[in-house]
Amino acid sequence: VQLQAASKEQLTQYESDLKSAYQRLQEDQLTLDLTRGKPSADQVSIANKLDGILNGNYVSDSGVDTRNYGGPNGLPEMRALGGEILDIPASNVIAAGNSSLMLMYLTALMHYMYGLEGENATWQGMKKPKFICPVPGYDRHFSICENLGIEMITVPMTENGPDMDTIEALIKSDDEIIGLWCVPKYSNPTGVIYSEETVERIAKLGQIAHPLFRVFWDNAYAAHDLNDQPAPLANLWQLAQSAGTENSIWMFASSSKITFAGAGVAWVAGSDKNLKALQKLLSIAIIGFDKVNHLRHARLFPDMAALRTQMREHARYIRPKFDAVLTSLDVNLSEFGSWTNADGGYFVSFDTAPGLAKKVVSLAADAGVKLTPAGATFPYGNDPEDRNIRIAPTFPKTEDVEKAMEVFCICVKLATVQHRLASLAS
Amino acid sequence: VQLQAASKEQLTQYESDLKSAYQRLQEDQLTLDLTRGKPSADQVSIANKLDGILNGNYVSDSGVDTRNYGGPNGLPEMRALGGEILDIPASNVIAAGNSSLMLMYLTALMHYMYGLEGENATWQGMKKPKFICPVPGYDRHFSICENLGIEMITVPMTENGPDMDTIEALIKSDDEIIGLWCVPKYSNPTGVIYSEETVERIAKLGQIAHPLFRVFWDNAYAAHDLNDQPAPLANLWQLAQSAGTENSIWMFASSSKITFAGAGVAWVAGSDKNLKALQKLLSIAIIGFDKVNHLRHARLFPDMAALRTQMREHARYIRPKFDAVLTSLDVNLSEFGSWTNADGGYFVSFDTAPGLAKKVVSLAADAGVKLTPAGATFPYGNDPEDRNIRIAPTFPKTEDVEKAMEVFCICVKLATVQHRLASLAS
């Protein structure tokens, strides 16, 4: 059936066929889950040698007995590794705990409540501080803003990253914009790598924005390539240095999807001035981070080559799952929506026709396939066009991804055809 | 020389002898450090088997694959262990990251900024929120209050814990008191174990205090006994239940001085209502805690008996150092100050005659012995009588503790004699 050209009768017949297919799938009583961007058991097993890797030697090459207090910025080896991942000097990096989200929260809190450029230079001291949120985006970023009462302004993602024309115009017209969320590589969920021009323009935002404006550069998938020849990401730090905007940049990364999810090492990086302010808060809130876990990671990854080898192992497990998703979409849904073709990261972002995402998620749920709630990729859970669905295929087995995608495609088709019929009727 | 009865001539001669002794010690060019409550290398080695303890099996008995996301309250086994340490049901415990200080900060922040009993029920919404701080106490507790702009009211420690008469009177007379810091067992630094009556009275404070009043029960040394028959600590949770004041209690503990300092597991415990509010903040700030480290600890400590065995090993290393301190004080300083005789924990608290603590610390520094800055055990670093010095003997070797105490005693004597001479002259 050619959807656009189909008659009412053809659509009715099509709907009936889809309903039958849907009901047959329901009879299978599936319980499949495409919701969470989490690694599979196979993937986390790649890092199994972390336990026992110290071989009784808890002292780092840098001479630190990791079993005792000290060293609030983390183990030197891990600051260096974080620097390589984030493309920034090690001295600008703190190797921290197990959670980059915690670092983002504390960094936002530092700006919100404590400030760094004088006693009153806090976000909470502003009338209506606002963050720019490229959408679709990562719900936990939005939650931090919501939690601190920071207003969110959405800006569409393009295939080159967030729409920079709009962002620049917003910043010029509103001097209370104090932040921009970015997932610059394999963006969550669209999988986009920001283009060089985009990164250059982001580096220059500090020239036109409020002095308290900060880019939150969550490079969560910095090393998470699925292909051997990944597209490069421009070096934001160097560009910011050239632009004289180092203070407008915060960078984050984590090894959660390199070694163990929730049991890895997280990093935060920034200018000397920024780090000094964050360190002040950290010195109140924590004596130091888990350096034993730092050392385990330093032993596992003596250099970036070792880390890249690890990532190729991950890709070996993830690639077939992405292929299953993309093949299924290619074969079934070319007329029913649009999606991204990510070369890395954890997600495929799918857009239905407007107004159908919630319906699709609900249909899938009733057939035993759990999808990320529609709207989750937008601030306040509100996708104004109700079309974006984030597909996270890494955790289930490949055959389960295939089965889940079979259900997904039927649900998208069914919702679309029913919608079309309804609009013909009206 | 009998200090009280000594003539001016005797004192002058004594001062001259002490100065000579002091100068001889200076010639030794010592670099000794009694500042930090941190375990020695021998002590942390007791837990060396933590690395490799999983033997490739990352799945807990409770069925959790610790290498992946999930379980925001921590591994069930570690919640149970925290419950045993803190004398509270496991369901009231969150097993968290490596830092109990971070939990205290986040808990204070939650009350300060977010609240739990309705939108405006925050500490920051009050005119002048105040914490009661028993002194001498732990500087990092005070830093949290100072950081949040919470006023601190000091109350003296007695041998039974904080002076409860004063605390009750304060709470009755000031309805903006919203907190009380407690280190109930081997209190930092006095080493006191709160008496049963003290704990009972603390449990009842919630009956007379502001609804937002919270006891911050930092049971940092819950298992850190130096003797085989430690004095018991009354069960605060049960007493609070009897008094109907469960919501007035927060409890904290950590394995930093059980396994690895800064690389262990921390716990926070409280009532269902309290935990719910904290969980809400945690759900914004972190996806979950390091469950692999939880599992390592669960394997090392399948039960409290295993943990107690570990603590007896620690005591074997610490006891001689405490003995060195106490013997040196007994032999040298019975006329020159007063001190505590702790049966556990990490500190000996010494009081000089009024006005001499800074002088002693300075003299010791000039002879190569680093002591915790005078005043550090008081809010804002201000010991109004300038007499308390916290001695932390666990990290150096026993012979270094002995040497450092030799210096310390000479310094105390010299400062005291000089002070006496000065007051005779005036």
**DSSP character string of B148-175:** TT-EEEEEEEEBTEE-HHHHHHHHHH-T
pLDDT (0 to 100) of residue A342: 85
Distances from the Cα of B164 to the Cα of A107, A270, B167, B205, B409, angstroms: 39, 47, 5, 10, 33
**Looking at CA atoms only, how far is residue A175 from chain B in angstroms?**
26
Residue pair A46/A314 in contact by the 8 Å Cβ criterion:
yes
Residue pair B392/B32 in contact by the 8 Å Cβ criterion:
no
Query: What are the pLDDT digits (tens) for A135-186?
Result: 999 999 999 999 999 999 999 999 999 999 999 999 999 999 999 999 999 9
Within 10 A of A316 (CB to CB), how many other CB atoms are there?
Answer: 13
In chain B, pLDDT over 70 holds for what percent of residues?
99
Strongest mean pLDDT among A1-10, A130-139, B336-345: A130-139
3-state secondary structure of A134: strand
pLDDT (0 to 100) of residue A153: 98
The distance from CA A67 to its chain's CA centroid, rounded to whole angstroms, is 33
Q: Which two tokens stand for residue B243?
A: 């008094």
Q: Which two tokens stand for residue A136?
A: 């679709």
pLDDT, mean of residues A46-58: 97
Q: Which of A124, A259, A286, A317 to mutate to test the interface with B (most CBs of B within 10 A)?
A: A286
Q: Do B68 and A44 touch (CB under 8 A)?
A: yes
pLDDT (0 to 100) of residue A4: 82
Q: Helices (H) and strands (E) in chain B — how many of each?
A: 13, 13
Q: Is B257 on the interface with A (CB under 8 A)?
A: no
Query: What are the pLDDT digits (tens) for B366-402?
Result: 999 999 999 999 999 999 999 999 999 999 999 999 9
Count Cβ neighbours within 10 Å for each residue of A368-397 and write b for 16 or more, e otherwise: bbbbbbbbbbbbeeebeebbbbbbbbbbbe
The residues near B216 (Cβ < 8 Å, ≥ 6 apart) are B104, B107, B108, B141, B179, B180, B181, B182, B250, B252
Distances from the Cα of B309 to the Cα of A350, B119, B299, B301, B314, angstroms: 56, 47, 14, 10, 9
Classify residue B116 by its DSSP letter: S
Q: Do B140 and A287 touch (CB under 8 A)?
A: yes
Q: Residue A403: is its pLDDT beyond 80?
A: yes
Query: Shortest CB distance from B260 goes to which of A45, A48, A292?
Result: A292
Query: Shortest CB distance from B285 goes to which of A58, A101, A289?
Result: A101
Q: Do B285 and A106 touch (CB under 8 A)?
A: yes
pLDDT (0 to 100) of residue A1: 61
Query: Shortest CB distance from A263 goes to which of B55, B105, B293?
Result: B293
Q: Residue A78: is its pLDDT beyond 70?
A: yes
Q: Which of B33, B69, B282, B394 to mutate to test the interface with A (most CBs of A within 10 A)?
A: B69
The residues near B6 (Cβ < 8 Å, ≥ 6 apart) are B14, B420
Q: Do A293 and B290 touch (CB under 8 A)?
A: yes
Query: What are the pLDDT digits (tens) for A304-355?
Result: 999 999 999 999 999 999 999 999 999 999 999 999 888 999 999 999 999 9
> Which residues of chain B are within 8 Å of residue A97 when distances are taken between CB atoms?
97-98, 290
Q: Enumerate the H helices of B96-156 as residue ranges.
A: 100-109, 139-147
**Looking at CA atoms only, how far is residue A195 from chain B in angstroms?**
30
pLDDT (0 to 100) of residue B7: 92
Q: Do B67 and A286 touch (CB under 8 A)?
A: no
pLDDT, mean of residues A413-420: 97
pLDDT, mean of residues A64-83: 97
- Average pLDDT over chain A reads 96
Classify residue A208 by its DSSP letter: H
Q: Which two tokens stand for residue B197?
A: 């009556």
Q: Residue A231: is its pLDDT beyond 80?
A: yes
pLDDT (0 to 100) of residue A118: 67
Residue pair B52/B39 in contact by the 8 Å Cβ criterion:
no
The distance from CA A58 to its chain's CA centroid, rounded to whole angstroms, is 33
Distance CA B67, CA B290 (A): 9
pLDDT (0 to 100) of residue B386: 98
Pairing of strands B214-218, B177-182: parallel
pLDDT (0 to 100) of residue B3: 84
Beta strands in A16-56, from DSSP E residues, in sequence order: 32-33
Residue pair B348/B324 in contact by the 8 Å Cβ criterion:
no
pLDDT, mean of residues A86-94: 98
Omega before A136 cis (within 30°)? yes
Q: Is A54 on the interface with B (CB under 8 A)?
A: yes
Distance CA A299, CA B339 (A): 46
**Looking at CA atoms only, how far is residue A58 from chain B in angstroms?**
8
> Which residues of chain A are within 8 Å of residue B56 when distances are taken between CB atoms?
48, 51
Q: Do B263 and A39 touch (CB under 8 A)?
A: no
pLDDT (0 to 100) of residue B326: 97
> Which residues of chain A are within 8 Å of residue B98 when distances are taken between CB atoms?
97, 289-290
Q: Do A285 and B38 touch (CB under 8 A)?
A: no
Residue pair B87/A84 in contact by the 8 Å Cβ criterion:
no
Distance CA B121, CA B140 (A): 25
Q: Do B262 and A288 touch (CB under 8 A)?
A: yes
Q: Is A42 on the interface with B (CB under 8 A)?
A: no
Q: Residue A13: is its pLDDT beyond 70?
A: yes
Q: Which residues of chain B have pLDDT under 70?
A: 1, 117-120
